[in-house]
Structure 1
Amino acid sequence: MMWRRYLMWFAQEHVDFRHAEMQSILTLYNIPIKYVEKPCIKKPYWIVEVPSEEFIKKIASRSVLIKNCIELWGRAKTESQLHENLRSAMKNDTGQWIVNERHNTEISDEYICPSELIQSCCSADKSFKVEIETFCKHFSMQEKVNKIETFSYLPLEGTVKLKNPDVTLAYLEFYGVDPNNVPDKPYDLFFGKWVADGQRDLIHVLSLKKRQFIGNTSMDAQLSIIMANQAKVKTGDLLLDPFVGSGSLLVAAAHFGAYVLGSDIDFMMLHARTRPTRVGQKERHKDESIRANMKQYGTESRYLDVVVSDFSLPNWHERLTLDAIITDPPYGVREPTEKIGIERDNYSLSEEHLVNHVPSKVGYELAHIYSDLLNFAARHLEMGRRLVCWYPFVREEYQEDQLPSHPCLQLVANSEQVLSKLTARRLLTYEKIHDEVPNMPLDPNGGVHNFREKYFCGGEQTRRERKERRAEELAINAANRALKLKLT
């Protein structure tokens, strides 16, 4: 079996999530892959080999970080060398690396593809077009046309068709990732046949700007899709978000075919009675709800329900089994961390007051939230399935060995999203590896370093210091002006 070589061209966003999303998709579809070069976060592309083009299309059908995938025909460091390699490819029977004759070693920056790949696209009955794409540099339309004309030697017999051609050829130039230091010549050049686009359009389809119901902490569409991918959500799965909020994660999971459940302690949010989030909106519309969001995207049939419940109190049947859990627990910053309870000792409630009683709430420490979450996942996840959750931390105090842990769960992915100079959060992906669940006490690593206290203390102290310093400067300046006026 002849493995083909492909270029995966990524968007330069959420770079730290790239490998985790790709590995999840590869294992989801059991796709064999060879890396021609070790993936590097400093480059927006990977060069890989897979046995079939269908595998590349499967990857692209899920990935939101991939822009497009190209069947690689040629690669070089200069335009002249790229054209020379393509001319050689038209006479080449098997794909090969260019061999360095001096050292008899393979040069990883040049490649000649088999001639059959080019010939298969050149028949008279196949229309075509050539697209130009650059990274970190802009070309005018005329410059793009000039570059397209340099490929006139290719034996393309079909007609040019700019909209929906049979074959799309792609020429890409990479000028590095520093927009403030763009070189005159590109570092890398690629040419090949377009195979598939990634799911970048899905970001706009599921955008919060267009969504019927959102809240203060609604997860943006791109991150929601990444979480669903890392949970390896597929058609027919049963998925739960135990801190569901406005249901953004359910929207992404349902898009990939999962049946979705949610729970949250916030009655007002689940019933869309909280203060509107959108600027200028004074009150919630009657048709705002999580169900309305699912109906908006045509996935209402996969929406099971959401329930008002306290996650710290077991309310799911012990035999409930889930295929995935994806969630964003509250950190106590924009949303409170609460559970049902009362701080008074020996408190009792009479039967006459029980009917209309609204339970009071106490703080739900982050240490307890993550211990409860991992224990819940260990009990209710199917073997080999995943929990995907966010974990906040103070950046200067981060240590990987202090992440929440459980003997039944293996941490398989850990990606960082920077929130500020002080704080960040990590997307943690756990996979269930054992069925015998011990009765775990509070996780000693679940304290997240008193994140809420340090978040507010650090931020407010800094602002307070700046305000006091500014007031002091103004007082000194006012005193100096008064003294100057008195002296004059």
Structure 2
Amino acid sequence: MNKCWKTYLLWFAQEHTEFRSAEINSLLSLLNIEMRYVEKPKDIEPYWIVEFSSEDDVKLLASRSVSLRNCIELWAHAKSIPAIHDKLKNYPLQLYKSHFDANKSFKIEVETFCRHFTQKEKVDKLEAFSYLPVSGPVNLKNPDVTLQYIEYYGTISNDPPELPYFVFFGRWVANGLRQLIKKLSLKTRKFIGNTSMDPQLSLLMANQAKVKDGDIVLDPFVGTGSLLVAAAQFGGYVIGTDIDYLMLHARTRPSRIKQKMREKDESIKANMKQYNLEHKYLDVMVNDFSVSFWKDTVQFDAIITDPPYGIRESTERIGTTKTDCKVKEEHLHTHIPAKIDYGISHIYRDLLLFSAKHLKVGGCVVCWFPVFREDYDEKSLPSHPCFNLTANCEQVLTKVTSRRLLTFEKIRDPTPHEMETYDHEIIDFRKKYYTAREESRKERRTREAQIREENRKKYEKS
């Protein structure tokens, strides 16, 4: 049976632009949706022109995407305003006649990207569509059909062109899941910490991990559980571990400026309850990730995590530099184990080895990885023969540093040899970060000394 393909405009929010393709491709795979590109998309532009064989597929995609603002069935697009009116006048009537039924209310929205128009100018643009064969009543609040007209003036808001680069017209189909970002805002969340993940990035990670209803999802560096909230929002049953006892029990110093003490009911579970997701919460446990306590038969559908980099949060594991260290039996019940540095290279090695063993084939590991931008090379990223790197997106942090969101998909189970001998050396981000900071301080002190010396000489001459 031949599919009836229609053209659609996907309009995105202009945030985290590099993450769009990774999220959409993951959702297309998860939801088993087929999509074709009419034009090759560019990251700098907020829209894609694509084709779907079913409007239900468009709505399904929009119901999960947090990058997407809305989807429009595209009736016409052109490089000038006169051209789009010519195209609409010649658009086959049978393709949109059903939407202009006399019993269907409608409205037309005018949107401009990177240029502001007064309400009167927008009304003038609306009146230019008087030739459309609409016969139903106007309803501005809850119409049966919403038509959308968009003028695109580029992405440089402080210097827009006089005329638009492109104009689009079509029928609104669905909005994306942008409202969920506000709902999960850290400003109103019960329990947060200094490194709690932004809700939009958390939701993007859950989408790239292809979390679906009934999945078992693990975050082995759970912190305050932001990633658990996102995974549970999409139907996953969530569980987390962390070595930081005080953080998991909400006994650390509050992160909010005006809050002096933690409230008694602050916890990851309280966050889940706040969003009516308590039924998706399994547990969180204190655990040193370098010493796994899971049975060999335990498997997860997805692993999403943000390992510590050793900058804002320490990289630690249980251990001691002392030799023959033994704790007397009478002190065991109150003993707090000593901790030593847990290098980034070892963290990511353990993460991929653990995932190779405990992740289901076809499942995804989604994790952040810190890099120095000038030294970045894809060959230096963590890797394992049981995984394919399916997405690699950059979030710039400073002029010299960034972090990359890596998505690994498990393609097979490991052999015993791979579990015993696998090793992959990674540049220690923390060591280089502090070395670079110290070098920067030395350069600044040297420069300040030179300026003082130059000022002294000028003063002596005067």
TM-score range, shorter chain: over 0.9
After superposition, give the CA deviation of every residue in 1:43-100 in whole Å (9 maximum; x if it has no partner).
21111111110000011011111111000011111111111111111xx2xxxxxxxx
User: Does residue 33 of the first structure (1) align with residue 35 of the second (2)?
Assistant: yes
* RMSD over aligned Cα atoms: 1.5
User: Does residue 254 of the first structure (1) align with residue 232 of the second (2)?
Assistant: yes
Distance (Å, rounded) in 2 between the aligned partners of 1:51 and 1:473: 68
**TM-aligned CA deviation for residue 443 of structure 1:** 5.6
Instruction: Give, as a single letter, the amino acid of the residue that structure 2 aligns with 1:9.
Output: W
Instruction: Give, as a single letter, the amino acid of the residue that structure 2 aligns with 1:145.
Output: V
**Number of the residue aligned with 2:13:** 11
**After superposition, where does 1:152-301 map in structure 2 within 5 Å?**
152-301=130-279
- 5+ residue gaps, structure 1, are 93-114
Query: Conserved in 2, the CA contact under 8 Å of 1:367 and 1:442?
Result: no
Distance (Å, rounded) in 2 between the aligned partners of 1:443 and 1:140: 63
Distance (Å, rounded) in 2 between the aligned partners of 1:308 and 1:466: 42
After superposition, give the CA deviation of every residue in 1:109-139 in whole Å (9 maximum; x if it has no partner).
xxxxxx3332111111111111111222111
Query: Conserved in 2, the CA contact under 8 Å of 1:128 and 1:167?
Result: yes
**Number of the residue aligned with 1:66:** 68
Query: Conserved in 2, the CA contact under 8 Å of 1:8 and 1:69?
Result: yes
3-state SS of 2:331 partner: helix
Q: 123-132 or 18-27: which moved more?
A: 123-132
3-state SS of 2:264 partner: coil
Q: TM-score if structure 1 supplies the norm length?
A: 0.91
User: Does residue 46 of the first structure (1) align with residue 44 of the second (2)?
Assistant: no
Query: Conserved in 2, the CA contact under 8 Å of 1:137 and 1:182?
Result: yes
Instruction: Give, as a single letter, the amino acid of the residue that structure 2 aligns with 1:88.
Output: N
Instruction: Give, as a single letter, the amino acid of the residue that structure 2 aligns with 1:193.
Output: R
Instruction: Give, as a single letter, the amino acid of the residue that structure 2 aligns with 1:296.
Output: Q
Select which of 419, 423, 427 maps to 1:440: 419
**TM-aligned CA deviation for residue 144 of structure 1:** 1.0
**TM-aligned CA deviation for residue 477 of structure 1:** 3.0
**TM-aligned CA deviation for residue 279 of structure 1:** 1.2
Distance (Å, rounded) in 1 between the aligned partners of 2:424 and 2:151: 46
Query: Conserved in 2, the CA contact under 8 Å of 1:213 and 1:292?
Result: yes
**TM-aligned CA deviation for residue 149 of structure 1:** 1.0
**Number of the residue aligned with 1:331:** 309
**TM-aligned CA deviation for residue 308 of structure 1:** 0.3
**TM-aligned CA deviation for residue 479 of structure 1:** 6.5
Query: Conserved in 2, the CA contact under 8 Å of 1:238 and 1:324?
Result: yes
Question: Quick one: structure 1 residues 443 and 364, their matched pair in 2 at CA, closer, same or farther if it must change by over 3 Å?
Answer: farther
After superposition, give the CA deviation of every residue in 1:239-261 in whole Å (9 maximum; x if it has no partner).
00000000000000010111000
Select which of 435, 438, 460 maps to 1:457: 435
**Number of the residue aligned with 2:95:** 117
**TM-aligned CA deviation for residue 18 of structure 1:** 0.8
**Number of the residue aligned with 1:402:** 380
Distance (Å, rounded) in 1 between the aligned partners of 2:456 and 2:407: 57
3-state SS of 2:391 partner: strand
**Number of the residue aligned with 1:104:** none
Select which of 321, 343, 347 maps to 1:343: 321
**TM-aligned CA deviation for residue 5 of structure 1:** 0.8
**TM-aligned CA deviation for residue 181 of structure 1:** 3.8
**Number of the residue aligned with 1:24:** 26
Distance (Å, rounded) in 1 between the aligned partners of 2:456 and 2:262: 49
**Number of the residue aligned with 1:83:** 85
Select which of 284, 287, 291 maps to 1:309: 287
**After superposition, where does 1:126-145 map in structure 2 within 5 Å?**
126-145=104-123
Distance (Å, rounded) in 1 between the aligned partners of 2:441 and 2:113: 39
- 5+ residue gaps, structure 2, are none
Question: Quick one: structure 1 residues 131 and 213, their matched pair in 2 at CA, closer, same or farther if it must change by over 3 Å?
Answer: same
**TM-aligned CA deviation for residue 412 of structure 1:** 0.8
Question: Quick one: structure 1 residues 249 and 437, their matched pair in 2 at CA, closer, same or farther if it must change by over 3 Å?
Answer: farther
3-state SS of 1:355 partner: helix
**Number of the residue aligned with 1:97:** none
Q: 472-481 or 58-67: which moved more?
A: 472-481
3-state SS of 2:9 partner: strand
Distance (Å, rounded) in 2 between the aligned partners of 1:441 and 1:135: 55
**Number of the residue aligned with 1:387:** 365
Query: Conserved in 2, the CA contact under 8 Å of 1:260 and 1:305?
Result: yes
**TM-aligned CA deviation for residue 178 of structure 1:** 2.4
3-state SS of 2:254 partner: coil
Question: Quick one: structure 1 residues 437 and 241, their matched pair in 2 at CA, closer, same or farther if it must change by over 3 Å?
Answer: farther
Question: Quick one: structure 1 residues 402 and 443, their matched pair in 2 at CA, closer, same or farther if it must change by over 3 Å?
Answer: farther
**After superposition, where does 1:410-449 map in structure 2 within 5 Å?**
410-438=388-416, 439-440=418-419, 444-447=423-426, 449=427
Query: Conserved in 2, the CA contact under 8 Å of 1:26 and 1:59?
Result: yes
Distance (Å, rounded) in 2 between the aligned partners of 1:33 and 1:476: 65
Question: Quick one: structure 1 residues 446 and 279, their matched pair in 2 at CA, closer, same or farther if it must change by over 3 Å?
Answer: farther
Instruction: Give, as a single letter, the amino acid of the residue that structure 1 aligns with 2:271.
Output: N
Distance (Å, rounded) in 2 between the aligned partners of 1:176 and 1:311: 47
Distance (Å, rounded) in 2 between the aligned partners of 1:3 and 1:472: 69
**TM-aligned CA deviation for residue 179 of structure 1:** 2.7
**Number of the residue aligned with 2:444:** 466
3-state SS of 1:191 partner: strand
After superposition, give the CA deviation of every residue in 1:324-363 in whole Å (9 maximum; x if it has no partner).
0000000000000000000012222221221211000000
**TM-aligned CA deviation for residue 478 of structure 1:** 5.5
**TM-aligned CA deviation for residue 39 of structure 1:** 1.8
Q: Percent identity?
A: 57
Query: Conserved in 2, the CA contact under 8 Å of 1:402 and 1:445?
Result: no
**Number of the residue aligned with 1:103:** none
Query: Conserved in 2, the CA contact under 8 Å of 1:370 and 1:446?
Result: no
3-state SS of 2:224 partner: coil
Question: Quick one: structure 1 residues 269 and 165, their matched pair in 2 at CA, closer, same or farther if it must change by over 3 Å?
Answer: same
Question: Quick one: structure 1 residues 117 and 286, their matched pair in 2 at CA, closer, same or farther if it must change by over 3 Å?
Answer: farther
**TM-aligned CA deviation for residue 441 of structure 1:** 5.3
